[in-house]
Structure formats: structure tokens, C-alpha cells
Chain A
């Protein structure tokens, strides 16, 4: 079975500073990787996903994540955060081969301060 580890439960950062949210996964088969974001009192929205091809994937609001197969990681980064990025971020993995069921990490609360 696959699992996802998000080691940081909370990450405080000042506005305009860079940030990295860490995600590691374990799986013996090929996987698809996702980052979802949850703003206060809302459901989850897809931020970005890695399916195949280029290991660096980007979102429309400046986040990027790099798939590293050797380190089984999919860390999320942004070079300069904004106060509106304050949210909870979830890393998730889906096994190849059908089913489309996601296994989620425990989430990282990003708090951007002025």
C-alpha cells in the first residue's frame, strides 16, 4: 500500500519570502502525485499534479513542485509568497492502474504573515 508523509504540520513565513512544503511518498509501483489546497472553510482544490514527462510542474499562481523518483519526494515551492497563500496544503498519491483513489498526507498549514 502507498503512503504519504508531510513532516511539517505548520509552516509560518513572512510575505514575499520563499517557502518549501515537503512531501515524501512510499509506493512499490508507479504513482501519480498531486498537491491540493484548502482555503479556510472551503473544500479542496487541485493546485498541480505530476503524471509523466517533465519532473517539474507548475501551477497558475506561482507554485511549483518537482518529482524526484530517487528520493520519493514531491516538494512544493514558491519563490515569493503572498498573504492570500495562507491555507492548508495536502500532498496526495494515486496508484497507476485505475481506481483514481487518492491517499492523502496529513496536511501542512501555511501561514503567511506581514
Chain B
């Protein structure tokens, strides 16, 4: 089974802090994603990476950056956390080459910024 592991399930951070959300997948997938989930808004794509050191902005990249130094690991960085970034963050991965490939999700990281 594919496993996407997010290192922290629940985090509480202060406004202005730098926050790292870490994600690891064990299936050698080329694609990795960070989504944000908010009630009534569904999931929105923050960033997408299709290879090591390669990244592409999603629909809501403002206030976020990402890092992919190794194929299995994809990090989401909040440079200066703000209260409007309080949300559930979901990491995902998939094989490349076909838009119909299944995307596999981690269990999510609940971030509260106070």
C-alpha cells in the first residue's frame, strides 16, 4: 500500500513564526502536492512538484513556499505564519505520466495560528 506520512497531525504556532510541514511518501512517486482544506471551500492546491527541486505554483501559493531536495520528501513552509493560515493541510503523491493516475493523500496536519 502507498503510504504518505505527514510528520505532525496537530500544530499550534504563533503569528509571525516560521512553520515547516513535512511529508514523506514511500512509493517512489514523481509527483507530490500540498493542498489546503477549509470548510465550504473544499481542497485548494498550494504547490505541486513533479521532480526533485522542481515546483509549480498552484491556485493559492501566496504566503507559502516549498522544498523538495529528495524524491520522497516534500516540505511546505510558512515563512511568517498568519491567523488566516489556520487550516488543515494535506500532502499527496502520485505517479507521473498520466492525468488519470490516482493521487494518494496523507492524513493531514491541523495547523492553528494564534
Report which A residues bind B (CB closer than 8 A): 6, 9, 32, 36, 41-46, 49, 51, 90, 94-107
The main secondary structure of chain A at its interface with chain B is loop
Please count how many residues in chain B sit with their CB below 8 Å of the partner chain's CB atoms.
28
Report whether B99 and A32 are in contact in the complex, using a CB–CB cutoff of 8 Å: yes
Report whether A98 and B97 are in contact in the complex, using a CB–CB cutoff of 8 Å: yes
Contact of A101 among B4, B40, B58, B100 (CB under 8 A): B58
Q: Is B84 in the interface zone, CB < 8 Å from A?
A: no
Report which B residues bind A (CB closer than 8 A): 4, 31, 33, 35, 40-45, 48, 58, 90, 92, 94, 96-108
Contacts A49-B102, A106-B42; A42 near B33 (Cβ below 8 A): no
- Alpha-carbon distance between A51 and B35 when the two chains are bound, in angstroms: 23
Report whether A44 and B42 are in contact in the complex, using a CB–CB cutoff of 8 Å: no
Report whether B99 and A90 are in contact in the complex, using a CB–CB cutoff of 8 Å: no
Report whether A46 and B102 are in contact in the complex, using a CB–CB cutoff of 8 Å: yes
Report whether B90 and A44 are in contact in the complex, using a CB–CB cutoff of 8 Å: yes
A-B contact pairs, 13 of them (CB 8 A): A42-B108, A44-B105, A49-B100, A90-B43, A94-B99, A99-B99, A101-B48, A102-B43, A102-B45, A104-B43, A105-B42, A106-B41, A107-B42
A94, closest chain B residue (CB)? B99
Contacts A106-B40, A106-B41; A96 near B105 (Cβ below 8 A): no
Q: Point out the residues of chain A lying under 8 angstroms from B40, CB to CB.
A: 9, 106
Q: How far is the CB of A62 from chain B (nearest CB, A)?
A: 20
Report whether A97 and B99 are in contact in the complex, using a CB–CB cutoff of 8 Å: yes
10 extra A-B contacts, CB within 8 A, seeds A94-B99, A98-B98, A100-B94: A32-B100, A41-B107, A43-B107, A44-B92, A46-B102, A49-B102, A90-B42, A101-B45, A102-B103, A104-B44
- Alpha-carbon distance between A103 and B100 when the two chains are bound, in angstroms: 13
